[in-house]
Amino acid sequence: MLDTAFGEVTAGEVGRSTVTLRGPDGSGVACWGDEAFHWWQVFTGDTLHGARHRRSIAVEPMTCPPDALRSGKDVIVLQPGETWRGVWGINPI
């Protein structure tokens, strides 16, 4: 079972960090985030019941860890008029 944040990841050669998921046949998806995202949240469906048990996984790029509003770690604070941009995507494999 996973309900875990993996943090302080570094971007690869193209300025992205990537999580790749593949099925038994080799097909899958690659979820990526640019250098604005330093954390990944991964959740598996192990806690679900019946036919849904262990049939899913969620992967989400994040800018800060869970509970960041309390800890202040990696929180992005914008002043009036400031902007922020991050880019992420999902590619089939």
Contact between 62 and 39 (Cβ < 8 Å): yes
**Predicted model pTM:** 0.82
Domain count of the fold of the chain: 1
Q: Which domain holds residue 19?
A: 3-92
Decide: 54 and 46 in contact? Cβ < 8 Å: yes
Output the CA–CA distances (angstroms, integers) from residue 17 to 47, 64, 69, in the order listed: 28, 14, 23
Q: What is the pLDDT along the chain (93 residues), one digit of tens a residue?
A: 888 999 989 888 889 999 999 999 999 999 999 999 999 999 988 888 888 877 788 999 999 999 999 999 999 999 999 999 999 999 999
